[in-house]
Structures are given as structure tokens and as C-alpha cells.
Amino acid sequence: MEGPEILIPILVPLAMFALVFGIVYLQKREKMAMIERGMDPRRYKPQSAPYQNLKWGLLLIGAGLGLFIAFVLDRTLFSSNLHHEENEAIYFALIAIFGGAGLFLSYVIEKKDDAQRTITYSKEEETV
């Protein structure tokens, strides 16, 4: 190992330590600022995102489906027997299209569920 390659085993652990130290330091500083303003840091917890798993799941399913369809199209429809050229553009395009479709489906499901909760909540108010 000569030259700059020797620095990688030294700099990577230092960077990781600095990253962890910076995150912990900023969290402690935020809590101290809250205490100085008279707020209780234990009361303010991060808000949950109930649809986060759905969103990530549909995004990854869409991206995987797009990658699979791009592979199948590349090997069957766009291949030539004389010289096989890789069609990289179709991979990126279909991953983006199907990933976006997954996010759109997540949006539709969230809106439908929110509308259903609103209707249920309105009916509960009327009965009270």
C-alpha cells in the first residue's frame, strides 16, 4: 500500500466517529436549549408517520418490478443476435416509472383511509 490508499483505513473510522459524535452532540444541545426555554424535552417526541412503511414498501416493490420488466424487455424485445448491446436507459426509466407508480398508489391509499377516518369520526360526533 503506497500513497493515498494508506489513508483510507485511517480516515473512514475517524469520519464515522465524527458523524456519531456530531449527532449525539447536536441532540444534547437541542435538549439543553429546550430546558433553557422552560420546556420538558421528554414531552416532545418525534411524531410517528403511520404510512411510512407502506410508502417504502410500495416504492421498493415498484422499483423491483420496473427492474424485472426492464430486464425481461432488454433480453427479449430489444436484443439482437449479432451483437448484444445493453440498454441502460430502459432500466432507469422503468425503475423511475414503477417507483413513481408505487408512490402514487401509496398516496391514493392514504387519502382513501383519511377520508374514511373523517367520515367515521363525523358519524361518532353525530351520535354523541
- pLDDT tens-digit profile of 103-121? 999 999 999 998 888 877 6
Query: Rounded distance, CA 43 to CA 35, Å?
Result: 12
Q: Which of the 8 DSSP states describes residue 2?
A: -
Domain ranges of the chain: 3-36, 52-127
Q: Please check whether residue 96 is in contact with residue 62, taking contact to mean a CB–CB distance below 8 angstroms.
A: no
Query: Rounded distance, CA 18 to CA 77, Å?
Result: 50
Q: In this model, does residue 54 exceed pLDDT 60?
A: yes
| Residue 83: per-residue pLDDT | 60
Q: Which of the 8 DSSP states describes residue 81?
A: S
Residue with cell 437541542: 30
In the chain, the amino acid numbered 127 is: T
Q: pLDDT tens for residues 6-41?
A: 888 899 999 999 999 999 999 999 999 999 999 888
Query: Rounded distance, CA 43 to CA 46, Å?
Result: 10
Average the pLDDT over each of 59-73, 87-101, 112-126 and give the range with the smallest value: 112-126
Query: Rounded distance, CA 63 to CA 81, Å?
Result: 28
